[in-house]
Chain A
Amino acid sequence: GNSVTQMEGPVTLSEEAFLTINCTYTATGYPSLFWYVQYPGEGLQLLLKATKADDKGSNKGFEATYRKETTSFHLEKGSVQVSDSAVYFCALYTGTASKLTFGTGTRLQVTL
């Protein structure tokens, strides 16, 4: 079956630090990969996505590259802000049973 593994949180960084949140996956077929962000008390917002190998998704300074050879989709940002504090979910979708498979989420806390 499909699964997503994310690094354990919480991740605590100072403002302007470099961010990496690791995500690896196992899937049958060729999944589409997503990062969603959830701010406190809110629903999930799509942050970025990639639909095939070597695609790079990017949005709001965040980037992630679909690496088929390492089955990874790590999230990166060069300089985090306090406003980036949230929970980040890596997810995949193979189109079977219309089901998104989520990782457990990684909480990011950015301090001044």
Chain B
Amino acid sequence: DAMVIQNPRYQVTQFGKPVTLSCSQTLNHNVMYWYQQKSSQAPKLLFHYYDKDFNNEADTPDNFQSRRPNTSFCFLDIRSPGLGDAAMYLCATSREGQGRRETQYFGPGTRLLVL
């Protein structure tokens, strides 16, 4: 089945130690998103890639960066995690173009714990 895959499902890191979360998709969608979701809150968009074009949300901290080496993969890098970065990180994908709006499909998420 076509899907959005996130690895790992659970990640424990130390305060200030860089961490990378990964997302892959078999849907061949051209847009990939990263959301941060804290407990009992709605997901908050951090950034997205439209094809190779990176689009950062205005309030996303500089501590968060992303890479998309090819259509299928996208990475979230947290350069120096703080305690406040502990959250669920959700990857999503969609197909967009020619004015069409398509549904976003989410992966299962990676729960990050910062010690």
Give A residues with C-beta under 8 Å from B. 32, 34, 36, 41-46, 49, 51, 89, 93-95, 97-100, 102-105
Contacts and interface: CB of A to CB of B under 8 A. Distances in A.
A102 B109 contact: no
Contacts, number: 54
A103 B40 CA distance: 12
Given A36-B106, A41-B111, A98-B94, 18 more contacts: A32-B101, A42-B108, A42-B109, A43-B6, A43-B106, A43-B108, A43-B109, A44-B43, A44-B92, A45-B106, A46-B104, A46-B105, A49-B103, A93-B101, A95-B100, A98-B33, A98-B50, A103-B42
A93 B104 contact: yes
Nearest to B111: A41
A100 B104 contact: yes
B84 interface: no
Q: Which of B90, B94, B101, B109 has the most CB of A within 10 A?
A: B101
Contacts of B26: none
Contacts of B41: 104-105
Contacts of B31: 98
B60 to A, nearest CB: 13
Nearest to B100: A95
B77 interface: no
A47 to B, nearest CB: 11
B107 interface: yes
Interface in B56-89: 88
6 contacts: A41-B111, A43-B6, A43-B108, A93-B101, A95-B101, A105-B41
A107 B105 CA distance: 21
Contacts of B103: 32, 34, 46, 49
Contacts of A98: 31, 33, 48, 50, 55, 94, 96
Interface string B20-60: 00000000000101000000111101001010000100000
